[in-house]
Amino acid sequence: MSMALSAERAILEQTRRGLRTLLAVPAARAGGLARVKDIEIAGPAGPLRARYYQAADALDTPLMLYFHGGGFVCCDIDTHDSICSWLAKSSQGRVLSVGYRLAPETPFPGQIEDVRAACAWAFQNAQSFGAKSHQIALAGDSAGAYLAATMALEINRATPGAVALQVLLYPLVHVRDSLWADEELRNFRFLGRVACLYIARSLGAEALPSLLDVDLSAAPPTIVAGGGPLDPVRNDAKALIDALRRAGVRVTEKKYPVLMHGGLNFTAYSKTATTALQEVGELVRAELTR
């Protein structure tokens, strides 16, 4: 391994540890949950860590699988514990947060393979949690939203309606450099471009399929929540919303002007984060009980 690569890996490991220290804060978890339980799910290359959250007043709705963000290279179910707990509480539902293998240790499409296995497991086991067995909901933030949207399309193409809802929090839509370069100097886009160049190289997936280049007609009803100027994906999220609506998909959009990308993790420090997750959870509840 070259010195440059060794230094890059060391920086990545330091970033991962720093994010865990900052975000994996037990006190940030929503209170009043009936159940929080760590489990393991069989994945294609070994067990996947998962954590189940159940609201005290859980309704008869589909199980929601949540995939964490972090650019496919950082974070885990611990860094996103607060988000999932607040979503479970505010939606009066059941949330299963599932980890997946990270890049660069696991190149693309290993991440897709892991979440595919998690979805299959959820259909087989949802009833044991008291959730509906024939449907699931999919959710995620940033890179996790990309995984959720990709799997929702795949599943619903095979079995229409099996994914009843997708919840995309400041979704990463693509890592195509030419599109990021077009707006590099606007709305902190230059930061997003640098991040996406690193993501693409880490995944070994410069051709990671853009959500704007696929047929979206099989997508389920969708909730999209995003930030303002400090959210570099907001223009792509808007383009995705427009494309979904053109495909006939019902979309509910929530905008939080002061929310930065990744800001929903900061429930221990930010009223904006808790308010947004409460509002998104209420939208989830309304959608799943229609």
10: Cβ–Cβ under 8 A, 6 or more apart, which residues? Answer: none
Residue 76 is a catalytic residue = no
Q: How confident is the model at residue 229 (pLDDT cuts 50, 70, 90)?
A: confident
What is the C-alpha separation between 67 and 88, in angstroms, rounded?
14
pTM: 0.93
Instruction: Please check whether residue 48 is in contact with residue 40, taking contact to mean a CB–CB distance below 8 angstroms.
Output: yes
284, pLDDT greater than 80: yes
From 68, 80, 174, 261, active-site residue = 261
What number is the average pLDDT over the span 116-137? 96
If we measure between CA atoms, which residue out of 5, 152, 192 comes closest to residue 64? 152
Catalytic residue among 82, 90, 91, 142: 142
> Could you tell me which residue, 212 or 204, shows the higher pLDDT?
212
| pLDDT of the residue at 124 | 97
Q: Is the pLDDT of residue 30 over 60?
A: yes
Backbone angles phi, psi at 12, to 5 degrees: -65, -45
Report residue 3's pLDDT band, with 50, 70 and 90 as the boundaries: low
pLDDT confidence bin for 181, thresholds 50/70/90: very low
Catalytic residue among 76, 78, 114, 231: 231
Is the pLDDT at 12 greater than 80? The verdict is: yes
231 is annotated as an active-site residue: yes
For this structure, is 142 an active site residue?
yes
Place of tokens 């959210």: 231
Compare 287 and 201 and report the one with higher pLDDT. Answer: 287
Q: pLDDT tens-digit profile of 41-87? A: 999 999 999 999 999 999 999 999 999 999 999 999 999 999 999 99
